[in-house]
Amino acid sequence: MAQNNILFMSATEIADKIRNKEVTSYEVVSAYLQQIDAQNGIFNAIVLVDKENALHQAILADKAIKSGTNWGKLHGVPITIKDNYLTKGLTTTSGYEPLRNHMPTKDAELVKLLKSEGAIIIGKTNLSVLAMDMQTDNAIFGKTNNAWDSNRTSGGSSGGCAVALATGMTSLSFGNDLAGSIRLPSAYCGVYGFKPTFGVVSINGIQTDPKEPVNGLKSLAVAGPLARTIEDLQLAMDIIANTTNTDKKLIPINRCTYTIDIKHMKIAWTDEFGGVPVDNEIKKAIQDYVAKLEKSGATVVKITPPIDFHLAWKTWGSFVGMQGGYNTSNFVKWMGLPFTKGVLKDVPMHQNIVKPTSVEKYMEALNTQDSLITQMENFLDSFDAFICPVSSVKAFPHHEPTKKLGNFSIYNNPIAINKEFMHYYMSTQAYTTPFTLTENPILSMPISLSKDSLPIGVQVIGKRYSDFRLLKIGMVLDDYSEKFKYPLE
């Protein structure tokens, strides 16, 4: 089989072909390793390659198939993992200098589940420092370049995952999402990404700052897959949406086995909300896409969920500040306020991250979240899904921070949107963070290419715990998106 056919084949198809002895795991793993050797120097998507072990595992996988043994759904299939998932025997840095040589002695829960189904981890993918930026860059490994234009960002923080897929260096990849870290890179790189409902996939084993005794992110953050097809997202979710012997607290969700007809679908959509401008070409692409859905028999309604987006942004920041910064004293936060107040005046989602906190404020944030979840769920009672932008902008040229505040990048130079300028974090996070707060499952999917051959994507948002139904809906909706080949395909 020609190497290029393997590289851009779906993980589902690769698994079938290995199982049916049409191709060997060794051939597939070798093809991806060769592609990494040839392309990673340009794109810098993969920061660690486990070549020797991957080839050894491939040989064992092929022997198992010959003997009639099937390891599972991803038997012998090569995949990549974001470099903030603990992987036994492989360095896990989170792009953070103090973790440069960190060698875990155990696997994250997600990694355990993937290995239990026969997946072969061929490498770790690049990310921003501690997954805290919407671009992928760090002092250890440098920046990851977009597959469509190496002068542009891949998005973050799971940018390495998205670029590895778009350049044929992996069949399937796994990231995590708090502010859009799966959704944004997927949109910027033209791949598919899935943010599950909070609490249905384990986040145990995501490496945070070692100065924090425990991972403080006990809400909002999720683990999820990126792929080149929705079918692969479904396969991945079928594996990772399960408990292990060391994490039984997850919420079980039903698999969706029935078919969905476009003519029976009712879709809510918007091309802008919260007063945050969106690139005109993105808006036009969404309008054209929704028109196709309507022409094909779907009922489409242009409407915005009746939630207070400014409140949602600020409440999202409250959780991040209280949980992600739980070991930073209120005194230190209070001392830093004069330095951040002016910088963050136009970024409501970050204002509460840096403020002193209290138990009372945490209770207020929980109550606000409960209310916003209820409002969003009531809204979705009337629709099969809600479609909206992923970001105000397409992939933009690499954007350098003005300065660093600890591990956090400060950006004083805005991003151009049409003829306006908007703060970097508003242009990248405004459309993702509200639905992190409301815990909804979200499919990030490409719908077209821009005039300058950059991917344009949308978020498809479903009711909480309807993850597999949303993926089925996405498969139907995907039939009406513009199909394209990746630059190296």
DSSP-derived secondary structure for 396-463:
-B----SEEETTEEE--S-EEETTEEE-HHHHHHTTTHHHHHTT--EEEEEEEE-TTS-EEEEEEE--
**Residue 319 · residue 364 · CB < 8 Å:** no
Please enumerate in sequence order all residues whose Cβ is within 8 A of that of 290, keeping only pairs 6 or more positions apart, or say none.
Answer: 267, 269, 300, 302, 387
Mean pLDDT across the chain? 95
Q: Which two tokens stand for residue 68?
A: 């009639």
Cut 0.85: pTM above it: yes
What pLDDT shows up at residue 331? 59
| DSSP at 302 | E
CA–CA separation, 417 and 314 (whole Å): 23
CA–CA separation, 78 and 424 (whole Å): 35
Instruction: Categorize the per-residue pLDDT at 354 as very low, low, confident or very high, splitting at 50, 70 and 90.
Output: confident
Tell me if the bond preceding 329 is cis, omega within 30° of 0: no
Instruction: Categorize the per-residue pLDDT at 263 as very low, low, confident or very high, splitting at 50, 70 and 90.
Output: very high
Whether 169 has a pLDDT exceeding 90, the answer reads yes
Q: Read off the pLDDT of each residue in 318-329 and give the average, rounded to a whole number.
A: 80
What end-to-end distance do the CA atoms of the chain give, in Å? 15
What percent of the chain is predicted at pLDDT more than 90? 88
Neighbours of 168 (CB within 10 A): 25
CA–CA separation, 348 and 334 (whole Å): 18
Alpha carbon separation from 330 to 204, 322, 326, 404 (Å, rounded): 27, 10, 9, 20
Choose the weakest-confidence range: 16-20, 54-58, 205-209: 205-209
pLDDT tens-place string over residues 116-128: 999 999 999 999 9
Which residues form the catalytic set?
Answer: 82, 157, 181
Reported as type and span, the H/E element at residue 387 is strand 385-389
Three state DSSP letters for 95-115? CCHHHCCCCCCCCCHHHHHHH
As beta bridge partners, residue 142 has none
Instruction: Categorize the per-residue pLDDT at 8 as very low, low, confident or very high, splitting at 50, 70 and 90.
Output: very high
